[in-house]
Amino acid sequence: MKYVIIGNSIAATACIEGIRSVDKKGEITVVSAENYPVYGRPLISYYLLGRVKRENMDYRPADFYGKNDVSVYYGRTAVKIDAERKKVVLDDNRELAYDKLLVSTGSRPFVPPMQGLDKAEHKFSFMTMDDMLALERELAPDKRVLVIGAGLIGLKCVEGILNRVQSVTVVDMADRILPSILDSEGAAIVQRGLEERGVKFCLSDSAERFESNTAYLKNSKQKLDFDILVVAVGVRPNTDLVKEAGGEVNRGIVVDKGMRTSLKDVYAAGDCAEGFDSSIGANRILALLPNAYFQGNVAGVNMAGGMAVQNDAIPMNAIGFFDTHVLTAGVYEGEVFADVHDNVYKKLFVKDGYLVGFILINDFLRAGIYTSLIRGKTPLSEVDFSLLEQEPQLLAFSKDKRKEKLAQRV
């Protein structure tokens, strides 16, 4: 059996492990656009911050590929999937035959049209190791940095560079930071922590045009001079290979719960795929590292002839900025139960008798129980919800439910 994996990602790593759990001898080939073994992309900001060294960023040990008998083509990209001939064409015209194929191409930075942006000097994205290393070469104590985008990527970049430059200013069209994962109150807590460290924010605004290294804002009419520009507005899934091969694509590559695409023997996983989100009962992109791993593993098992499904994925984010830590999950709908004091923020969302989402800031005590309630769709009638509001613990569950959950831990 010949397995080909496009993309050397977390999903790819999980796919390899899934394949090898079923098929110990099949031929596995990985096509890697980057020149590095798989690494934890969330760690690139911590590298700039000095919290991790380069050798500690690898997602698996150095012998991972060798132990799993995997061939890797580094610095190569796939340009075409020939689904009829079951071959992948690379950018050097090489063709790789496959019996089963995984597409784990991830996403790419989205750069909206902004007048004069192409003429701005020292302009960077912040998604890959090479992005980070290129940015690091420009950092200096006298540099002024402008970051376009107050989402997860932009603010992790801010965290990484803040203590290595003169100033950092963040511009975003939204009225709050982290708009995809936080409500206004939660965002204000995180923003306050960053402002106390010197970060400046221009929200509900956008860069209307650039002239050399000056940005002109649309709403406030401010003029912002900078030495370094980081564009972190958002990402777009890399779906072109599957779309051009005739596969079904919406915003991401459409897959079933076994990660199969509409193309025969072609699977997809990770940030490029629209997997099943149990919190809404429908498919959508869940661009999260744990989700990428689970999807990739399910794909690998099925590619090798096993049986696996992913049917309990939910949107979940765990992220920190210096000494402020955030954990979110599920959807923010229904009745709200809130506990806010000092810099601690807990908000639980209950709908139709079920916990459907939460926002936690600086209070993670046994948050796994909240997550378990959402994933397991446990009726709150089976728990002491008043106790769970204050401090999640197994005692809040009925005796039978406690036995069930303890058995799951064994």
Query: Which of 235, 230, 232, 236 minimizes the C-alpha distance to 249?
Result: 236
- Write down the pLDDT at residue 350: 93
Q: Give the pairing type, strands 167-172 and 200-203.
A: parallel
Written as six digits, the tokens of 139 are: 């950092």
**pLDDT one-digit tens code per residue, 48-85:** 999 999 989 999 999 999 999 999 999 999 999 999 99
Instruction: Spell out the CATH class of 117-233.
Output: alpha beta
Tally of CB atoms within 10 A around 389 = 15
- Write down the pLDDT at residue 353: 92
Confidence of residue 404 (pLDDT cuts 50, 70, 90): low
Query: Which of 318, 334, 335 minimizes the C-alpha distance to 371?
Result: 318
325-409: which CATH architecture? Answer: 2-Layer Sandwich (3.30)
List Cα–Cα distances, 90 to 26, 82, 241, in angstroms.
21, 11, 11
pLDDT at 164 over 50: yes
Q: Do 117-233 and 325-409 have matching folds?
A: no
Q: What is the mean pLDDT of the chain?
A: 92
Please tell me the total number of residues recorded for the chain in this structure.
410
| CA 14 – CA 296 distance, rounded (Å) | 5
Q: What is the CA radius of gyration of the chain?
A: 23
| CA 72 – CA 53 distance, rounded (Å) | 24
**pLDDT one-digit tens code per residue, 15-32:** 999 999 999 999 999 999
CB-CB contact of 259 with 299 (8 Å): yes
**pLDDT one-digit tens code per residue, 193-242:** 999 999 999 999 999 999 989 999 999 999 999 999 999 999 999 999 99
Written as six digits, the tokens of 395 are: 């005692």
Q: Give the pairing type, strands 144-148 and 228-231.
A: parallel
Superfamily grouping for domain 2-43+53-107+237-303: FAD/NAD(P)-binding domain (3.50.50.60)
| CA 191 – CA 99 distance, rounded (Å) | 50
Confidence of residue 40 (pLDDT cuts 50, 70, 90): very high
Per-residue pLDDT averaged across 316-337, rounded? 94
List Cα–Cα distances, 230 to 10, 172, 224, in angstroms.
25, 12, 14
| CA 185 – CA 196 distance, rounded (Å) | 17
Domain residue ranges of the chain, discontinuous segments joined by +: 2-43+53-107+237-303, 117-233, 325-409
Residue 222 φ then ψ, to 5°: -70, 155
Using DSSP, state whether 283 is helix, strand or coil. strand
The amino acid present at 294, given as its one-letter code, is F
Confidence of residue 395 (pLDDT cuts 50, 70, 90): very low
Confidence of residue 391 (pLDDT cuts 50, 70, 90): low
- In the DSSP assignment, the letter for residue 206 is -
pTM of the model: 0.91
Residues 6+ apart with CB under 8 A from 70: 16, 28, 29, 30, 64
pLDDT at 185 over 90: yes
The amino acid present at 317, given as its one-letter code, is N
| CA 222 – CA 316 distance, rounded (Å) | 36
| CA 256 – CA 87 distance, rounded (Å) | 22
pLDDT at 319 over 80: yes
Question: Which contacts of 286-294 are long-range, i.e. CB under 8 A and separated by 24 or more positions?
Answer: 286/313, 286/314, 286/315, 287/107, 287/235, 288/315, 288/316, 288/317, 289/10, 289/40, 289/41, 289/42, 290/316, 291/316, 292/9, 292/10, 292/11, 292/14, 292/104, 293/10, 293/11, 293/13, 293/14, 294/14
Query: Which of 318, 308, 316, 321 minimizes the C-alpha distance to 332?
Result: 316
- Write down the pLDDT at residue 117: 94
| CA 377 – CA 379 distance, rounded (Å) | 6
